[in-house]
Chain A
Amino acid sequence: SAVISQKPSRDICQRGTSLTIQCQVDSQVTMMFWYRQQPGQSLTLIATANQGSEATYESGFVIDKFPISRPNLTFSTLTVSNMSPEDSSIYLCSCQGESKNIQYFGAGTRLSVL
């Protein structure tokens, strides 16, 4: 299994600002993922991040709003840009395990936008 450290664990931000969430894995992994979990809802995939290439975004999510970096095989960041109250959610990163069907998750970032 993989252990993922995600930070910050929570933040309260003002409208119009940006927040960068960091995700560190304790081993090298090929694929990392970013999800959004709106209050009381299931997980929605934002994008898939492979090292050395542009992230692949799901329908409804765009790079200008959610830029992602993946500088190496153990680290990724997600930025939530120009935030509005509708961006208040839990943001989760995950990585693919050695068994490619499994994903392991970080503890999540609880974001509130005022």
Chain B
Amino acid sequence: GDSVTQMEGPVTLSEEAFLTINCTYTATGYPSLFWYVQYPGEGLQLLLKATKADDKGSNKGFEATYRKETTSFHLEKGSVQVSDSAVYFCALSEYDMRFGAGTRLTVKP
């Protein structure tokens, strides 16, 4: 069945560092791909999405490109801030929604 494999955390970075969180997927067809973010004490918020190969999703300085050839959807940000500290979930949706295990990011001043 469909599944998402996400880079294990936790990840700790200094402010203004470059962020990459790896995500790969397995699917039988052509899923849509998502990154959700969960700030401390809150629910999940949709961060960005991509619905077909080579699409790039972007929001709040975060980017991810749907790579069909490598079945990947890595999350990147050029310069993280303390306020980016949260748990990030990669997800795919084909017949239902499948979530990765989540990666906890802590950004230190």
Residues on A close to B: CB < 8 A?
1, 4, 6, 33, 41-43, 45, 92, 94, 99, 101-108, 110
Chain A residues, Cβ within 8 Å of B46: 1, 102, 104
25 A-B residue pairs with Cβ-Cβ distance under 8 Å, sorted by A, are A1-B46, A4-B43, A33-B97, A41-B101, A41-B102, A42-B89, A42-B100, A42-B101, A42-B102, A43-B89, A92-B43, A94-B44, A99-B51, A101-B31, A101-B97, A102-B32, A102-B34, A102-B49, A103-B93, A103-B97, A104-B46, A105-B44, A106-B43, A107-B42, A108-B42
CB distance A92 to B44 under 8 Å?
Answer: yes
B45, CB-defined interface residue at 8 Å: yes
Residues on B close to A: CB < 8 A?
31-32, 34, 36, 41-46, 49, 51, 89, 93, 96-97, 99-102
* Interface of chain B, main secondary structure: strand
Q: How far is the CB of B6 from chain A (nearest CB, A)?
A: 9
Chain A residues, Cβ within 8 Å of B93: 101-103
Closest to B102 in A: A42
Closest to B93 in A: A101
Q: How far is the CB of B55 from chain A (nearest CB, A)?
A: 12
* Interface of chain A, main secondary structure: strand
Q: A92-B44, A102-B46, A106-B43 are in contact. List 13 more A-B contacts (CB 8 A).
A: A41-B101, A42-B89, A42-B101, A43-B99, A94-B44, A99-B51, A101-B31, A101-B49, A102-B34, A103-B93, A105-B36, A105-B43, A110-B41
Instruction: Give the residue among A1, A41, A101, A106 with the most B Cβ atoms within 10 A.
Output: A101
Chain B residues, Cβ within 8 Å of A102: 32, 34, 46, 49, 93
Chain B residues, Cβ within 8 Å of A33: 97
Chain B residues, Cβ within 8 Å of A99: 51
CA distance A105 to B41 in the complex (A): 13
Known contacts A92-B44, A108-B42, A108-B43; A101/B99 CB under 8 A: no
